[in-house]
Amino acid sequence: MPQNKKIGFIGAGVMGKAIIGGLIESGFVKKENIFASEINQELANKVSNELGIIASTDNKKISSDSDILFICTKPFIIKNILEEIKNNINEKTLIISIAAGVSSETIENCINKPVPVIRTMPNTPVLVKEGMVALCRGKHVTDEHIKLAQGLFEQIGKCIEVPEKLINAVTGISGSGPAFMYLIIDALADGGVKKGLPKKTAIEMAAQTALGAAKMVLETGKHPAVLKDEVTTPGGTTIAGLMTMEERGVRSALARTVQNTVEMADKLG
């Protein structure tokens, strides 16, 4: 059970702290079983004070002591980190990486042992425990490893497994998607402001409406098109708005937005 496993974090920045905080608050993992390392003692002390866990600057000790090791560093330094800790990792250690653009194969090759590596892409709403996390399994990962990782990430949102070849498609929807949703919320709010609503009120209404609509899709299991039709009465206000969206090409613009994002991720990769 994860409650009894030692979980280490190399790097405890915004995303790392969000994951740690979710695990602690949920009670899914005992606080005393979570450790973190940072690049200097000042940052380590800050992490320790904020989260109430043991934090240090010793990457090697964190790696040796962990059953599950999260790699939460910037992508451009991950190879140096792995070179530093590879002799402290044993073949039973589950590596979970959130480093964008770094393949599971790259991590496996750096460690040069048959260790299980799971590549992940969490998005920023993990900070409010409504994240979307995609998992990609390396060649030594078992179903049990995936189940364990899903259990951890479900403390901060939803979690799905995808083939690693589709990771850039994930970027297009859930990785970059929050920015697209913020623009939509802001645009809906501006429409309300145009008709006299205070901006703060309009933003709150638009954001809550987006949240509620998303929960309807997730919790009812109905196709978005079906839910759309359930709101739309003949000759009413909603169909007038939907027709405007279709005339202005909103549907095709959003679909193309995702496609362009994926294509850029492919180029960067």
| CA distance to 147, 158, 175, 182, 210, per residue, from 218 (Å) | 21, 10, 18, 19, 12
**Confidence band (pLDDT; 50, 70, 90) for 4?**
confident
Read off the pLDDT of residues 38-76 as tens digits, 9 standing for 90 and up: 999 999 999 999 999 999 999 999 999 999 999 999 889
pLDDT score recorded for residue 100:
87
Distant-in-sequence contacts of 215-218, Cβ < 8 A, 24+ apart: 218/158
- What confidence category does residue 268 fall into, taking pLDDT thresholds of 50, 70 and 90? confident
Domains of the chain, first to last: 2-163 (3.40.50.720), 175-268 (1.10.3730.10)
> Rounded to the nearest 10 degrees, what angle do helices 143-153 and 14-26 cross at?
90
Q: Is the CB of residue 101 less than 8 Å from the CB of residue 269?
A: yes
Answer yes or no: are the C-beta atoms of 154 and 132 closer than 8 Å.
no
Q: Residue 121 CB: number of other CB atoms within 10 A?
A: 21
Q: What is the pLDDT of residue 269?
A: 65
pLDDT reading at 141 higher than 90: yes
